[in-house]
Every structure is written in C-alpha cells, then in structure tokens.
Amino acid sequence: MTPARSLCVYCRERPIEPSWRPFCSERCRLLDLSRWLADDYRVAGEPVDADSTDSPDPGQTHDADGNTPNSRYARHNHDHR
Ligand SMILES: [Zn+2]
C-alpha cells in the first residue's frame, strides 16, 4: 500500500530518509513536531473555551434543580410546573 520511497510528510519535496522516517531530515521532523504542538494548543483551546462558556449555565441549573442532567429539559420542566 505504501510506496517504498515516498516524500517527506512535512515538506513533501524531498524523499524520506530512513533514519528520519517519515521525514527527510531532522529539521523537518522538528518542524512537524512543533507544528503539531501548536496545532494541539489551538485545537485544545477552542473546545475548552466553548465548554467553559457553556458550563456555568447548566452547572447552576443542575445545582439548583439537584437531579436534572439536562439544563434545557430542566428549564422546560420548570416552565410546566
Ligand atoms: Zn522534509
């Protein structure tokens, strides 16, 4: 499936060096790693931020109601009463 000789996964210009697989050099390996870390920070930052903005409201509702896991359902239920 994988060709014996493919291009470096980072620069996609030079062939892969066996000692630095799947990269062509240590430089590309490090650059890819740093890109991964930067990506990880960005990806991890967004959901956490969205979750923390969403969290306080359901948390308070859940705490006030005591036994309702869904805040929307809780509000609806409360409206019915
Ligand atoms: Zn490369």
When divided into structural domains, the chain yields a total of 1
The whole domain housing 65 covers 18-80
Could you tell me the distance, in angstroms and rounded to a whole number, from the CA of residue 6 to the centre of ligand 1? 11
User: Does 6 reside within a domain?
Assistant: no
What predicted TM-score, i.e. pTM, was given to this entire model? 0.44
Residue 66 region by backbone torsions, left for phi larger than 0, else alpha for psi between -120 and 50, else beta = left
Distance 27 CA to ligand 1 centre (A): 7
pLDDT of 15 over the 80 cut: yes
Residue 4: its pLDDT value, please? 55
User: Tens of pLDDT along 33-62?
Assistant: 998 888 876 666 555 555 555 556 655 555
Distance 40 CA to ligand 1 centre (A): 21
Report if residue 5 sits inside a domain.
no
CA 65 to CA 68: how far, in whole Å? 6
Give the DSSP letter of residue 20.
Answer: G
Q: Which residues pair with 59 in a beta bridge?
A: none
Residue 10 forms part of a structural domain: no
